[in-house]
Amino acid sequence: MNKYSSRGMYQNSWIVSTQQEIKGKIEHNYFCQCSHSFRFSTTFDTTDAPDVLCPLCGNDYFINSNEFGLKDGVRIWKDFHWEIEVGETADRWSVTLFYTIALYNAQSNTIIPVKQNLLTLEFDKEGKYDLGITYHSNIVSRYSLFQNGRVKPLSSLLLDDAKEQLINHILNNRVEALAWINRSNIESLSYKQRFEYIRFFLKNNYLQEHRFFFWKMEGLEKVFTKTVTQKEALQYIANEKTERIVKKALYRGYEESMQKIGYYYPYSDYIFSRIIKNVDLLANLYALHPAIKQNLFTSNTLSVAIELLRFLKRYYTEKQIVNLFTRNIQDEDTYRERLLLFRDTLNLLDARNAIASLEKHFMKIKLTTKKLHDEIIRIFHIVSYELDAKEEFEYDPIYLSACQEYEGLEFRLPLTARELSLWAKMLHNCMFGYIKRIHQHKSIIYGIFKDKELLYAIELNGFNIVQPRFCNRNKNFSHNIIK
């Protein structure tokens, strides 16, 4: 069946039955699809139209136009033709499916053709709105066609046809954002996916590559306080940089994140974009392994990380800073240890007004995670006595009650920030960086002593051990006291 032909107004074959006032007879008028000008009529006493053959083409299938207004009319047709009109304005494409029915005009006592719309699809050229579907006739939902031994709902046939025609029109009359699309890439997609595909690239006209459609943007909402598009999100993360090498590296890094860890972690790219101006070096940072980028920063250390990297730019080139991440931290054998050191460094800096202390005491060192961590600890040891001497800790009685001896070991809580700093110096770790957390009752740190010598330290969050780490112990203590 050629549903899109324009062979004339009466592409469907109709029966139009009218009542003759004078003779009181029923006149049945037949209009065959073979010719819009051919017509013949017969007069009978019955309202049932007789079965006839078209004398020109032998067609014996006619649709009774009078039954269209009946709730209990014919619901399954053998055949039904419709035509299509494609429209386009400055801001949208549209497709309308219609048919032409033969109806009786009582005023002129003639049979006239009347155009009837079935449904219209509209699609916004900027991708702002979903596909718009407007139904103009209940025929769409009430009737079905019997084809190839199966009954097919007219609604699905019409919708599929309209969608196919609209997609073809869009791709044949492309706006600039769609000019690059290869039709073969979407042939295997459903109609719904094809419209989602077209809409995606209309909205994100800078993403001109097929595979971007299949990305997910999970995780980006953590960076923003309002709903944004993918384009706005990625532009914001890239600090509005528009160079092709930056975009390409960012998108590739994003895709690699989705493939390797299942989601995108935006904080690292966000920070790097605000520190590194050289686009080639920035692209190298975007290409870091997703597991590395995922563990470098947290939402809590965003601001202090930016401050630290900006401070380091006073002493080091951008290339040296980039090497800190791409070579030193991303070392295959030691990346876990170095990630831990780097995150501890950020936590130390987050504990106080750290940048002011860095400006006063920082000494340029070889830029590695270990040496940077040691330098931050050195600086805090210098200022800890002055800053922490008057800072006393307050504890819930339940934690104080645990300060006692057990199997030869004594458990203590530090009473002041100065005491905690002394412990940190003795164990050569970053405990003093937790002063703020202890004051906020987010962390509890116990020192474990034997014969008045500090052997070990553990951090609790509530009643759960957070850090029973061997790096938090006195190097002369070899007993495993945490089980």
Instruction: Assess whether pLDDT exceeds 80 at residue 461.
Output: no
pLDDT, tens digit, 9 for 90 and up, residues 116-146: 999 999 999 988 888 999 999 888 888 888 8
**What distance in Å separates the CA atoms of residue 372 and residue 366, rounded to the nearest whole number?**
8
CB 100 within 8 A of CB 93: no
Q: Which of 65-79, 220-234, 247-261 has the highest mean pLDDT?
A: 247-261
State the greatest distance between any 2 C-alpha atoms of the chain, in Å, as a whole number: 126
pLDDT, tens digit, 9 for 90 and up, residues 195-211: 999 998 888 777 777 87
C-alpha separations of 170 from 83, 90, 95, 125, 382 in Å: 18, 13, 10, 9, 69
Q: What number of H helices and E strands is found in the chain?
A: 16, 16
In 3D space, the residue among 13, 130, 121, 122 whose CA is nearest the CA of residue 62 turns out to be 13
pLDDT at 20: 67
pLDDT at 233: 77
Which helix (DSSP H) or strand (DSSP E) does residue 287 occupy? none
Q: Worst-scoring range by mean pLDDT, 18-22, 91-95, 208-212, 271-275?
A: 18-22
Q: Which two tokens stand for residue 342?
A: 């780097």
Residue 439 pLDDT grade (very low, low, confident, very high; cuts 50, 70, 90): confident
Instruction: Assess whether pLDDT exceeds 90 at residue 75.
Output: no
Q: Worst-scoring range by mean pLDDT, 325-329, 381-385, 432-436?
A: 381-385
Instruction: Assess whether pLDDT exceeds 60 at residue 399.
Output: yes
Instruction: Assess whether pLDDT exceeds 60 at residue 387.
Output: no
**What distance in Å separates the CA atoms of residue 24 and residue 44, rounded to the nearest whole number?**
10
Give percent of the chain above pLDDT 90: 33
pLDDT at 446: 93
Q: Helix, strand, or coil here: 365? A: coil
Q: Is 303 left (phi over 0), alpha (psi -120 to 50) or beta?
A: alpha
Average pLDDT over residues 296-308: 85
pLDDT at 476: 41
**What distance in Å separates the CA atoms of residue 379 and residue 354, rounded to the nearest whole number?**
10
Which helix (DSSP H) or strand (DSSP E) does residue 110 occupy? strand 110-124
Residue 478 pLDDT grade (very low, low, confident, very high; cuts 50, 70, 90): very low
pLDDT at 466: 67
CA angle 175, 178, 184 (to 5 degrees): 135
For tokens 């494609």, the residue is: 86
pLDDT, tens digit, 9 for 90 and up, residues 405-427: 988 899 999 988 878 888 888 88
pLDDT at 364: 94
pLDDT at 130: 87
> End-to-end CA distance of the chain, in Å?
79
Instruction: Assess whether pLDDT exceeds 60 at residue 148.
Output: yes
pLDDT at 317: 96
Q: Which two tokens stand for residue 483?
A: 């089980």
Q: Which two tokens stand for residue 332?
A: 């295959």
Phi, psi of 450 (to 5 degrees): -140, 125
Instruction: Assess whether pLDDT exceeds 60 at residue 363.
Output: yes
Q: Worst-scoring range by mean pLDDT, 132-141, 168-177, 225-234, 326-335?
A: 225-234
Residue 483 pLDDT grade (very low, low, confident, very high; cuts 50, 70, 90): very low
DSSP annotation of 73 reads S
In 3D space, the residue among 122, 149, 144 whose CA is nearest the CA of residue 133 turns out to be 122
Q: Which amino acid, 46?
A: T
pLDDT at 73: 63
Which string of DSSP letters, residue by residue, matches 170-234?
HHHS--GGGTT--GGGTTTS-HHHHHHHHHHHHHTTT--SGGGGG---TTGGGT-SS---HHHHH
Q: Which amino acid, 134?
A: T
Residue 149 pLDDT grade (very low, low, confident, very high; cuts 50, 70, 90): confident
Look at strands 150-153 and 76-77 and give their pairing.
Answer: unpaired
pLDDT, tens digit, 9 for 90 and up, residues 55-68: 888 888 888 887 77
Distance of CA 395 to the CA centre of its chain: 45
**What distance in Å separates the CA atoms of residue 8 and residue 29, rounded to the nearest whole number?**
18
Average pLDDT over residues 258-282: 89
Q: Which residues contact 108 (CB under 8 A, 6 or more apart)?
A: none
Instruction: Assess whether pLDDT exceeds 70 at residue 69.
Output: no
Work out the burial of residue 298: count CB atoms within 10 Å of its CB; fewer than 13 is exposed, 13-18 middle, 19 or more buried: middle
The pLDDT mean for the chain works out to 82
Residue 321 pLDDT grade (very low, low, confident, very high; cuts 50, 70, 90): very high
Q: Which two tokens stand for residue 74?
A: 């014919």
Phi, psi of 297 (to 5 degrees): -130, 160
CB 428 within 8 A of CB 468: no
Q: Worst-scoring range by mean pLDDT, 79-88, 121-130, 198-207, 351-360?
A: 351-360
- Which of the pair, 190 or 147, is modelled with greater confidence? 190
CA angle 124, 128, 129 (to 5 degrees): 70
